[in-house]
Amino acid sequence: MDRRTAETPEIDWSKYPVPRVRHHVNSQAYLPAHQHLFVHHQYPPLRTDAEWGSWFANSKPASVLDLGCGRGAFLIRHALTHPNVNILGVEVRESLADYINGVISGEGLKNAHALWYTLANGLDWIQPGSIDYAVYLFPDPWPKKRHHKRRAFSQGFLKMVHRVLVPGGRLYLATDRENVDAYQREVLSASSLFSISPLMDDTTWPFRFTTDQQMFCDAKGIPYVRYAAEKC
Ligand SMILES: C[S@@+](CC[C@H](N)C(=O)[O-])C[C@H]1O[C@@H](n2cnc3c(N)ncnc32)[C@H](O)[C@@H]1O
């Protein structure tokens, strides 16, 4: 089922052919720069500050983050539905960030930007207490135990998200992988920074539009879970 509704503005996606992308970029990109002796020239650039003035027409900081924004369906739909809210997507695959920014400029959107960056290097360049909510939707599963270190979700991830959220701000989570859900709940339970909401459904999930992976799951009948972690 496609959860787009008549009230959800939509664009003609056929104008924007999706580039061919590898499933994963090189494995270095999922680990912080300080863990590498040599950093590959295609490693996502590090940041010391945000460039709100060049990312958003009103030059104001983002108040919403889409962490691991993929092909950007959620980001674009969020920007269309909330024209006065700046949303910043973070994506480790450069070609996808470029693709999304092409859609943003093609549609003349003023309040969205996709940043080629790896979450492994943190969000220190975002002001503390400035983000109303962040989403981390359908993350890469990295199912093999030895690859778990490439998952962005960790105690460090929770600390960095907690730091940027406003008091009571939420991190919205969705996954179609049971083992990812169990892993994330374990990480959350070991932290005192967030409280976990009950599972959400269409009536309690606050977004009326879908992500790319969610559309895939809906089309194939693959179940998924959604919930929020609220900043304590
Ligand atoms: C399975 S896709 C889901 C994309 C989108 N959120 C959706 O629901 O359709 C996960 C995305 O997270 C990105 N990603 C994984 N690790 C990342 C990291 N360390 N930093 C930034 N993006 C990352 C991947 O490149 C991929 O595009």
Pocket test for ligand 1, best of 24, 69, 160 (most atoms within 8 A of CB): 69
Which residue lies with its CA nearest to atom 4 of ligand 1? 70
- Distance of alpha carbon 93 from alpha carbon 91, whole angstroms: 6
Distance 217 CA to ligand 1 centre (A): 16
Q: Do 172 and 135 form a contact (C-beta atoms < 8 A)?
A: yes
Nearest atom of ligand 1 to the alpha carbon of 216: 9
- Residues with catalytic roles: 140
* Contact 114 CB / ligand 1 (< 6 Å): no
Q: What DSSP string runs through 75-103?
A: HHHHHHH-TTS-EEEEES-HHHHHHHHHH
Structure tokens at 126: 């975002």
Q: Do 30 and 150 form a contact (C-beta atoms < 8 A)?
A: yes
**Over the stretch 112-126, which tens digit does the pLDDT of each residue have?**
999 999 999 999 999
CA 215 to chain centroid: 16
Distance 136 CA to ligand 1 centre (A): 8
Distance 70 CA to ligand 1 centre (A): 5
Provide the whole-model pTM: 0.96
Low-confidence ranges of the chain (pLDDT < 50): 1-2, 6
Structure tokens at 22: 């590898």
* Contact 89 CB / ligand 1 (< 6 Å): no
Q: Which amino acid, 21?
A: V
Nearest atom of ligand 1 to the alpha carbon of 152: 19
* Contact 137 CB / ligand 1 (< 6 Å): yes
Nearest atom of ligand 1 to the alpha carbon of 118: 20
Q: Which amino acid, 220?
A: K
The pairing of beta strand 194-196 with beta strand 165-175: unpaired
**Over the stretch 59-81, which tens digit does the pLDDT of each residue have?**
999 999 999 999 999 999 999 99
Q: What is the pLDDT of residue 39?
A: 82
* Contact 120 CB / ligand 1 (< 6 Å): yes
The domains of the chain, with CATH numbers, are 53-231 (3.40.50.150)
Q: What is the pLDDT of residue 7?
A: 58
Beta pairing partners, 230: 170, 195
- Distance of alpha carbon 130 from alpha carbon 161, whole angstroms: 11
- Distance of alpha carbon 86 from alpha carbon 62, whole angstroms: 5
Nearest atom of ligand 1 to the alpha carbon of 119: 20
Which residue lies with its CA nearest to atom 13 of ligand 1? 68
Q: Which amino acid, 115?
A: L
CA 26 to chain centroid: 19
Through-space distance between the first and last CA atoms of the chain, rounded to whole angstroms: 34
* Contact 69 CB / ligand 1 (< 6 Å): yes
